[in-house]
Amino acid sequence: MKKVFAFEARRDWYVCDAAIVSCFDCRFDAGLRGFLEHLGIVSPDHIKIAGGVKCLISPDLETDREFVLKQIRSSMQLHGTRRVLLLAHSDCGGYGRLDAFRGNAEAEARHHQKELAGAAEHLLAAIPGLDVQGYFVDFEGIWDAEIKGLPLASGQ
């Protein structure tokens, strides 16, 4: 093999500060890195999948939910994860983009707040005892979804 790029990575094993479940939309990566730094999260296990939290609350296939849960369990087993951050974002293709909300950013944010609450409930039912937080990301910042006590988005 021929080395094409050199870098140095830490070799020590780590304990994960938080598993992050988000969409793979790269428009929000820089803001998310800053936010994680703001929270003191240095060693995250980032689970990026199309639609992000949609896979937990309203998956296209049940296997999508199981995949995300398996990734979180693997993070727990391999890196001692006890905290999970769920992130939904504006203009997500998995939700039909902002167009699905007729361009109404407030309606979109309310919908994602309910989706985040439902995703947290599903996650905690499957893996009790986690510290779960939900955030909505738009083009101006990251908002605490205040998911505690909200009903499931699907009406369950």
Burial of 50 (0-12, 13-18, 19+ CB in 10 A): middle
Each domain of the chain, given as residue ranges in start order, spans: 18-144
pLDDT (tens digit per residue) in 23-71: 999 999 999 999 999 999 999 999 999 999 999 999 999 999 999 999 9
Q: Tell the CATH topology of 18-144.
A: Beta-carbonic Anhydrase; Chain A (3.40.1050)
pLDDT (tens digit per residue) in 9-19: 989 989 999 99
- Distance CA(89)–CA(140), nearest Å, equals 11
This prediction's pTM: 0.91
Neighbours of 154 (CB within 10 A): 12
